[in-house]
Amino acid sequence: MRYIAIHDKGFTLLEVLIAVAILGIGVVSVIRLFSDGLRTSYSSSKYTMALFHARNIMEEVKYESDNGVFDDGYRWEKIVSPYTENGNIEGLKQIIVKVYWKDGVIPKEITFTTLKTMFKKTK
């Protein structure tokens, strides 16, 4: 009878390399997910700030077109014109607010449009 000596007391080099490769792919995937999440969060915060600026400009009581720059680098433009979609309705104005900013080197813009009734005060 013949005896075969089997020495399975450890891992072969090939098994270790395959395990390290699988672990490396998993780690890189997780790091990529975190990176994409941070990038999305940063972009979302920029859009949110633009929304706040646009809302503040739109709520101002000045009823003429204007433009300017905020302290944090956002630029804005407000256009006030008579609303003429369904004919000129007395006292109804269309207000368009545009906010511009740069996300890195890419210029971004958000536009809001609303209608307001604006009557001149008579003495």
Q: DSSP string covering 13-69, please?
A: HHHHHHHHHHHHHHHHHHHHHHHHHHHHHHHHHHHHHHHHHHHHHHH-S--S-EEEE
> Quick one: pLDDT band at residue 5, thresholds 50, 70, 90?
low
Q: What is the mean pLDDT of the chain?
A: 84
**What would the two tokens of residue 42 be?**
């940063």
Q: What is the per-residue pLDDT across 26-48, written as a single tens digit (0 to 9) for each?
A: 999 999 999 999 989 988 998 89
pTM: 0.64
